[in-house]
Structure 1
Amino acid sequence: MVLIYVLRFFLVSHLLLNWGVNGDREECPDSFDCGSLGSFHFPLTTAERPDCGALAIHGCDDHKQQSQYLLIGGEKFPVTRIGKKSLFTSNLVYVIDNHLSQYLESGSCNAFTHNITLPSVSPLIGFFTISNNVTLFKCKSNLNVSTPQTYFKNSTSCDYDIVFGPPNSDDDASVSTHPSIAGCSSVELPAVYGLPISANPFAFLTAEIPIHFNPSVKCAQCRHDTRVPHGQCFLDREGKPYCATRKDKKGTRMLALALGLGLGPWIIFGLILILKNHKRKQSTAHVQLQSTMASADSSHSPDVQTDRIFFGVPIYSYKELQEATNNFDNTRKLGDGGFGTVYYGKLEDGREVAVKHLFDHNYRRVEQFMNEIEILTRMRHRNLVSLYGCTSRHSRELLLVYEYIPNGTVASHLHGTLARAGLLTWPIRMQIAIDTATALAFLHISDIIHRDVKTNNILLDIDFSVKVADFGLSRLFPNNVTHVSTAPQGSPGYLDPEYFQCYQLTAKSDVYSFGVVLMELISSMPAVDHTRERDEISLANLAAKKIQKGALSELVDPSLGFDTNQEVKRKITMVAELAFQCVQVDKELRPSMDGVVNALKKIGSANSEPEHVEKGDDSAVISHSEELNGSQDWNQVRFLVREKLRSSPNSLTEKWSSESTTPNASA
């Protein structure tokens, strides 16, 4: 025993001495502060700590605006802002290309020969992409170019014509192989997000480049693994990524120092004895901890359980989440729902999360708790919120842990605390509608009915991409049945009237609710407003009343440019017609959700009214699914709706028909 203590003292003394002489790099922090940019996370890092990430930002110690920059290919690219992913990674950097900026400001043809430079790919980063980019084809002026209707041809003062379509257009690949385009060169340049393209490319192109990137698969697993506290991703000597905890990394470096100094066989022998002794103690402690956890779980006590899995997600202790939310501080409250309150939280490892605290007085809270876990662990989709974990069902409180979506709800942006005139432009609202419909179609393919579709349950990230949330009321829909008989549940203003009257839940119930969401996107009005006239409290009723009067413009949010932009007016009119089809009292007159997705995509991308919506057209979303039952094409739905309206004393008259089917202007 005396020898062991002597060896311990000798080893530690030498390690501390050499630590002070040679120094040692500090552990990587969970986040970095960077001047006017605020804070950011891995895989970004600062120039002072290049070992802590894959992309270093310079000038973080300077608090002046635009003094921070990336160094790419030896050139400085000023960083204007950083987008944080909803968890604990920063995955979007906006930089300025100074050369491109000069070309665009002067209207120089050099802009169309300028190639965007991306950072060098690191093993810590999976890939880089530029979002919202436009492909511009440079063609000789004497070529007879044939392009889709959504494309423009600009005869510039340059030695060539410019042919281009909408940002990230699906037609770019097919256009590039067209015989008339085959001899043209191309360049991809960023466009201002939400700004419609026009015949003049200098009007919508920008020098601010949004660079998206994601950690590599190994690094993402390292930082997401709750069993690895403070997991950090580093490169080994061969340039391959590996995952290390702070303790593991520190111990490895200390051991390397000791061996490097050649302390001799006695030191190595002493180290072995120490490690054996430590391992024996650790094993004993682990057994005691397991015994304590088992005892605690059986007595419904919320002890730490982060190494346990329930329905495929980690289990967190009540205490851990209580600390993460600062004891469920009201200042961290993100919102109240029908079944619980959601709080902002930050875990010990730096992850930002949203924690739902289910109400005690709700007798069905355990059922809703299990329901959300079962559905969200089965579903993985870019437009569905992700579940990161939960407490044990034996915990004194039922808590669910989600990814944190930082930009609020659609409701808050339309008519809540985040509402700002002109912020949600029509292209952004159109994309919100498409993303939401896509998520609901995905659920329906998987035989799941959301049952509480509303703008308060549609979350937005910093890019205004949609995350549909709150699955407490969702129901699995058995195969080969037309409906599920169940007591009506949902939110006022969104509830399917046929479901309310007949107690029969179908996928068309979600379609009705989504129709109300479309009306909110058009009007920026809440689904229910008791300050309105009695027959206008419901937005669905108000919309019908305005349409009956031929006064759609009175319903539309003035900030959308309905009266000044003919293209916006045409598309809003078509979306209003689709919304009206969705809220028909007779569910058989409503389109299916995949039909809604197809219709919205055609409205959003086409310069003319969609003539036909094919089943299964949304192959990118539902590529491996069965064809949905009840899907109707666009013209058939219109015919049924109008026939129904002609026989109804409350018909919307021919004003609706003529206004919604005739384009007001061409692109």
Structure 2
Amino acid sequence: PIGVIVGVAVAGFLMALASLFIVACLSDRGKKQRPPMRKRGTMVVPGPAASPSDTNSYEFTGYKSCFTYDELVGITGGFSAQNVIGEGGFGKVYMGSLGDGRRVAVKQLKVGGGQGEKEFRAEVDIISRIHHRHLVTLVGYCVTENHRLLVYEFVSNDTLEHHLHGEGLPVMDWPKRMKIAIGSARGLTYLHEDCHPRIIHRDIKSANILLDKAFEAKVADFGVAKLTNDSMTHVSTRVMGTFGYMAPEYASSGKLTDRSDVFSFGVVLLELITGRKPVDSSQPLGEESLVEWARPLLVDALETDDFREIADPSLECRYSKIEMRRMVEAAAACIRHSVTKRPRMVQVWRSLDVDGGSTDLTNGVKLGHSTAYDSGQYSADIELFRRMGFEDDLDTAEYGLSDEGEPGPGSGRQRQQRTAAGR
């Protein structure tokens, strides 16, 4: 009996020691993994959780620097005109260099738009939580009584718009186009599906898709996008977006939803497929609008499995027919007139990317019967867009580019360097 008692006591003691050891290890591990919450001169934000849409998001717990205005003056050479790499409705963008040698794009926002310091800091807090390899990274910010600035990573290979529509450039081959479509779709999927509250971009266009040297796409300018609650749409108080990319229902309702972004992305896909600009006054009368011109050709191509009429002639039929069909199907679904019949961005990404899994984009719509909304109504909406002042008031000349793809004011010799983030 004594031996049994001693054995039980020893076993209990050892179990208690083991439990204490496990608790201590877990506690120590948690301390090591937990990032410090304060550091002088910086704003620390936790990274996003794993992406439920499986879009390869990346947890990021690094510091976001809070710059002083004097620091940004030094970084940009006193906001020298020689360092201007873009200009648009939100303000000018300057190239700069940090002390560690990293190049950045400093976006100087126009002050006076009604946004106070508290609102600006709240917006930065949201932006700083977003990190994805297909989204341009926020490096830091500066806020004073008279200044609002955002500092973004510098992306080194210009924009999709430049490579598709720039004069005297090599033809972008099909593998690059497919890679860019998939990458930008993944970035936008992350904004729509994995950010809480979700982020509606509001100004998706080829000029807002930046490219690195490997032609990996990074979506820019979501830092000035408005946020929307999951259960609500956002009714804009001013015209947002770029003429040629905006969903037609926006002209009548003023509402922006994630499906408005989907429509705009569909226009980008059409640019990749056709090589044409969203609006091109050099085209024959009635064919100036890329969407209106392409819509019947998309249907014909999918019915006949012949893409020669819609594919960019400069490709000279050098493309994967299977991939071309996937992109044409995605574009056709994105530009449906009916908002509810358009796919979600995650569906678009999965339809383009074989690694994302196959997906059905029909949403109950038969080929060629996407809506009763006719081309005449679409033309009327385009005219309404014009009257709303799209051509004069919007961010269509950022990075020193006008709607026609020509250098705009302030671009100077930096036209060839126009590869920064954060327009």
> TM-score range with shorter-chain normalisation?
0.5 to 0.7
- 1:643 pairs with 2:392: no
Deviation at 1:348, TM superposition (A): 3.2
Q: What is the correspondence of 1:313-332 to structure 2 with a 5 Å cutoff?
A: 313-332=64-83
Distance in 2 (alpha carbons) for counterparts of 1:523 and 1:450: 24
Of 43, 50, 63, the residue aligned with 1:309 is 43
Distance in 2 (alpha carbons) for counterparts of 1:367 and 1:538: 41
> Among the aligned pairs, what percent are the same residue?
36
Q: What is the correspondence of 1:153-302 to structure 2 with a 5 Å cutoff?
A: none
Distance in 2 (alpha carbons) for counterparts of 1:465 and 1:390: 25
Q: Deviations over 1:437-465 (max 9, x none)?
A: 11111111122111111111111111111
Distance in 2 (alpha carbons) for counterparts of 1:583 and 1:649: 13
Distance in 1 (alpha carbons) for counterparts of 2:281 and 2:253: 26
For 1:556, the equivalent position in structure 2 comes to 311
Tell me if structure 1 keeps the 8 A contact 2:200–2:225: yes
For 1:420, the equivalent position in structure 2 comes to 169
Tell me if structure 2 keeps the 8 A contact 1:421–1:559: no
| Greater gyration radius | 1
Distance in 2 (alpha carbons) for counterparts of 1:543 and 1:367: 45
- 1:480 pairs with 2:228: no
Of 521, 533, 536, the residue aligned with 2:272 is 521
Describe the shift of the 1:521–1:420 C-alpha distance in structure 2 as closer, same or farther (beyond 3 A): same
Letter in 1 for 2:369: E
Tell me if structure 1 keeps the 8 A contact 2:246–2:263: yes
Tell me if structure 1 keeps the 8 A contact 2:336–2:370: no
For 1:340, the equivalent position in structure 2 comes to 91
SS for the counterpart of 1:399 is strand
Tell me if structure 2 keeps the 8 A contact 1:454–1:513: yes
Of 574, 581, 592, the residue aligned with 2:326 is 574
Distance in 1 (alpha carbons) for counterparts of 2:290 and 2:122: 30
Structure with the higher strand share, 1 or 2 = 1
Deviation at 1:570, TM superposition (A): 4.3
- 1:392 pairs with 2:392: no
Deviation at 1:377, TM superposition (A): 0.9
For 2:201, the equivalent position in structure 1 comes to 450
For 1:497, the equivalent position in structure 2 comes to 248
Distance in 2 (alpha carbons) for counterparts of 1:506 and 1:492: 17
SS for the counterpart of 1:535 is coil
Q: Deviations over 1:500-544 (max 9, x none)?
A: 211222110110010001011112222222333443332212222
Q: Deviations over 1:164-183 (max 9, x none)?
A: xxxxxxxxxxxxxxxxxxxx
- 1:407 pairs with 2:157: yes
Deviation at 1:366, TM superposition (A): 6.5
Deviation at 1:489, TM superposition (A): 1.5
Q: CA RMSD in A?
A: 3.3
Q: Deviations over 1:280-331 (max 9, x none)?
A: xxxxxxxxxxxxxxxxxxxxxxxxxx82538763221222222222222333
Distance in 1 (alpha carbons) for counterparts of 2:265 and 2:139: 27
Tell me if structure 2 keeps the 8 A contact 1:581–1:637: no
Q: Deviations over 1:564-616 (max 9, x none)?
A: x4x524432431232021011111121111110110013xx79xxx9x51xxx
Distance in 1 (alpha carbons) for counterparts of 2:75 and 2:141: 13
- 1:431 pairs with 2:179: yes
Distance in 1 (alpha carbons) for counterparts of 2:100 and 2:272: 38
Distance in 2 (alpha carbons) for counterparts of 1:547 and 1:523: 11
Tell me if structure 2 keeps the 8 A contact 1:477–1:484: yes
Distance in 2 (alpha carbons) for counterparts of 1:351 and 1:519: 35
Tell me if structure 2 keeps the 8 A contact 1:473–1:489: no
Q: What is the correspondence of 1:131-142 to structure 2 with a 5 Å cutoff?
A: none
SS for the counterpart of 1:477 is coil
Of 123, 128, 132, the residue aligned with 1:377 is 128
Structure 1 unaligned regions, length at least 5: 1-220, 222-226, 228-305, 614-632, 652-667
Deviation at 1:386, TM superposition (A): 0.8
Q: Deviations over 1:398-448 (max 9, x none)?
A: 22111111111111111126x6233x2111110111111111111111221
Structure 2 unaligned regions, length at least 5: 1-34, 46-62, 377-423
Describe the shift of the 1:329–1:491 C-alpha distance in structure 2 as closer, same or farther (beyond 3 A): same
Letter in 2 for 1:408: D
Deviation at 1:370, TM superposition (A): 4.6
SS for the counterpart of 1:511 is helix
SS for the counterpart of 2:369 is helix
Distance in 1 (alpha carbons) for counterparts of 2:136 and 2:212: 11
For 1:596, the equivalent position in structure 2 comes to 348
Deviation at 1:554, TM superposition (A): 4.5
Describe the shift of the 1:416–1:335 C-alpha distance in structure 2 as closer, same or farther (beyond 3 A): farther
Distance in 1 (alpha carbons) for counterparts of 2:119 and 2:109: 9
Tell me if structure 1 keeps the 8 A contact 2:106–2:151: yes
Q: What is the correspondence of 1:143-158 to structure 2 with a 5 Å cutoff?
A: none
For 2:289, the equivalent position in structure 1 comes to 538
SS for the counterpart of 2:231 is coil
Describe the shift of the 1:355–1:649 C-alpha distance in structure 2 as closer, same or farther (beyond 3 A): closer
Tell me if structure 2 keeps the 8 A contact 1:358–1:365: no
Describe the shift of the 1:472–1:348 C-alpha distance in structure 2 as closer, same or farther (beyond 3 A): closer
TM-score, normalising length: structure 2: 0.66
How many residue pairs are counted as aligned between the two chains?
316
Deviation at 1:345, TM superposition (A): 0.6
Describe the shift of the 1:595–1:637 C-alpha distance in structure 2 as closer, same or farther (beyond 3 A): farther
Letter in 2 for 1:320: E
Distance in 1 (alpha carbons) for counterparts of 2:234 and 2:373: 29
Letter in 2 for 1:486: S
Letter in 1 for 2:169: R
Distance in 2 (alpha carbons) for counterparts of 1:491 and 1:414: 17
Tell me if structure 2 keeps the 8 A contact 1:342–1:356: yes
